[in-house]
Amino acid sequence: MSSRGIYIVANARSEKLCDNLVYSIRQAGCRLPIRLIPFGGKPVQSRFTLREAEMLPIEDFPAASREFVAGLSAVLTDCPRGFLHRFLAWFGDWDEFIYSDNDIVALTNWERLFEWLPGHDLVHADEEYTTRGRYNYDEPDKIEEIFGMGGLLSAVTAGHFLARRDPRLVEDMRKAMKWFQTHPAIPKKHDQAFLHVASLIGKWKMLNLCKPPHNWLSSWAGDYQNPLALIHALQAEPARQISHLHFSGGVPVGTEPTADFLSANLDSRQRMIRLTKLGILELGGWIPARQHFKRIRNGLRRRWKKTVTSFQAP
């Protein structure tokens, strides 16, 4: 029988989200082993998470994997290096694995997701394919020119997926690194675009459970007006399934319409204290102002990097 497990990457800054992620995994009945890869910076200190997950230092992975991440960091310049530690999963000793970001809540037992992996290189459940590549590429039309019509329809959200450990897939990712270097104007320099390009280069066998005939519900939290809307969607005819909720698109602050899922691990007193603090910050305008500032700052950083890159080009 294949060895299986779940990889997560976290540090002290994402510890609260990580706690809730691990709690939701266990509450859904999943008993798969969990390995925590350090993101960098101050490490996770949570007793709960460290009891449920095995801390796996970067040094425990093969030297080739650390060299791979270092090379990838030089290519994916818009992506903090800690996010690239997800790719270490392909260098681990589990035959099959799930990778999950911290801003995710498990809504079903993830053990059953492995039923879909036979015959596939990667399985996911998201609607990234509906975006026509605008979040992954500066020139999305070029993807279909290079890889053929429909190339954008195999897009994958890098925050949650199942995959098998296969040297061929790693080799495809090495080819994707070179592709990014020879086509710098096309992709955004982050992990999600990189994973998609690798899958296109290697012609990976991909299964998206949100597409027909499976038609699972969208896993993006932003698609639901509130928790009631999610419950109604689950009970609509014909009945549809959902694997998880992903609060992607920025660091969730806890005021999102479906943010109750992010505090599932808290008791009633802890939840009330958190909501009181968030309410004061939200009504005082601090949260919207901070989010606006971050958008401006990130936009300026991207422009600066592009300017520097253009001056460095031969």
Closest CA to 116 of 152, 160, 157, 161: 161
pLDDT at 60 over 80: yes
Q: Mark whether 260 and 160 lie in a shared domain.
A: yes
In terms of C-beta density within 10 A (0-12 exposed, 13-18 middle, 19 or more buried), how is residue 111 classed? middle
- Give the pLDDT score at 298: 53
Q: Is the dihedral of CA 127, 129, 133, 134 positive or negative?
A: negative
Domain extent for 82: 4-278
Q: Mark whether 134 and 274 lie in a shared domain.
A: yes
Q: Mark whether 232 and 167 lie in a shared domain.
A: yes
pLDDT classification of 311: cutoffs 50, 70, 90: very low
What tokens does 202 get?
Answer: 């290697």
Q: Mark whether 10 and 131 lie in a shared domain.
A: yes
Over residues 135-164, the pLDDT tens digits come to 999 999 999 999 998 899 999 999 999 999
Summary mean pLDDT of the chain: 88
Q: Mark whether 167 and 293 lie in a shared domain.
A: no
Q: Mark whether 41 and 100 lie in a shared domain.
A: yes
If one compares 300 and 236, the residue with the highest pLDDT of the two is 236
Closest CA to 128 of 155, 149, 101: 155
Q: Give the number of domains in the chain.
A: 2
Q: Mark whether 138 and 43 lie in a shared domain.
A: yes
pLDDT classification of 314: cutoffs 50, 70, 90: very low
Closest CA to 37 of 20, 58, 18: 58
CB 157 within 8 A of CB 49: no
Q: Tell me, what CATH number does 76's domain have?
A: 3.90.550.10
Over residues 15-48, the pLDDT tens digits come to 999 999 999 999 999 999 999 999 999 999 999 9
pLDDT at 234 over 80: yes
Query: Could you tell me the pTM of the whole model?
Result: 0.87
Over residues 117-134, the pLDDT tens digits come to 999 999 999 999 999 989
Q: Mark whether 178 and 95 lie in a shared domain.
A: yes
Q: Mark whether 311 and 236 lie in a shared domain.
A: no
Q: Mark whether 260 and 294 lie in a shared domain.
A: no
